[in-house]
Amino acid sequence: MPVGHGSNEGGEREFSNSHAGPSHPPGKAKCLATVRTDYAPGDQCYVLHLAQTPGEAVVAAALSTRTVKLFSTDASGLRFTGDLKAHTHSITGMVSAAHSPAALYTASGDGVVRAWDLRAGAVAQEFRAGCRGEALSVAVGPTLVAAGVADNLALWDARSGRQMAHWGDTHAQDVTAVQLHPDAPAALVSGSEDGLLAVFDLSAGLDEDESFQAALNIDNAVAATGWYGQGGTKLWCTTGTETLHLWEWQAACNEEGGGEKPGWWAPDSAVVWCLDGWCSQHIGAKVFVPFLSVPARQLPPETLCGTRV
């Protein structure tokens, strides 16, 4: 299939809805379009990351060829619109910006985080950390850009590009995941190959020790993490051994702080659910996290819905 030409073939598959009831029967997922990302059959490449701009106007695919391909979305599916010669090394992370529909951010093994203007198809800004190492993950908020650079966390002003903080004490190995909360940009989570998930509150400043709130040691390399549940009071985390961990991070922060923090949510409990794996308590200077491990098949569906378990 030529590059950029979508296909509406694909059929339908049923999926179950945990909220399904008499008025919400199981629905069907339909493949609307497929598209090839290589230029020719002999030009093989892998899709490493995907991102979609707000309003679903553009889908970006980061490839193993260090290129980002852009596709517009319309009623007919996906249409190839151009590509970005993104980096000189592998693209390690890519995110869109909820506050800026025309922006795309990429991180790379060359140690650089780039902000792209999709209207011009060009680099709008570059963010470089004050340390050597690969930029392995990136997250973007209205005023802040965060990235894992080797075993450090780097924070920049999103507007000026000025580096505002450089943290090197929290993690002992590569920071492979970083996220800023979509509804509360002061909440930052990082995950590392050292097995640690760490939550920070940036509202009081950018001091590493003062911002640190709680951590969970899952005894496994963190591959990816993100927020879920009502109000984003919970975190999911996948690992290098294909296990999934669910953590009620806000409860852990409240436990450490001696009560609910102003401006932070109050979830139901501090239970950590681990699917097909095991968690361990990490009790340190600021950490107390109860946990529970269960096989995936025994996980209550309400957990994934963000309700009380």
Residue with tokens 């517009």: 72
What per-residue confidence (pLDDT) applies to 107?
96
CA distances from 11 to 8, 29, 97, 150 (A): 9, 9, 32, 43
Report the pLDDT value the prediction gives residue 49, as an integer from 0 to 100: 94
For the stretch 115-138, pLDDT in tens is: 999 999 999 999 998 778 899 999
Please report which residue ranges of the chain form alpha helices under DSSP H. 208-211, 249-257, 301-305
pLDDT for the residue numbered 26 = 61
Q: Residue 167, Cα to own-chain centre: how many angstroms?
A: 19
Surface-to-core class of residue 57, CB atoms within 10 Å of its CB (0-12 exposed, 13-18 middle, 19+ buried): middle
For residue range 214-263, what is the model confidence (pLDDT) as tens digits? 888 899 999 999 999 888 888 999 999 999 999 888 777 776 655 444 33
pLDDT beneath 70: ranges in the chain: 1-27, 39-42, 255-309
pLDDT for 4: 43
Record the pTM.
0.76
At 207, is the secondary structure helix, strand, or coil?
A: coil
Domain ranges, ordered by start, for the chain: 169-309
Q: Please give the pLDDT value at position 11.
A: 54
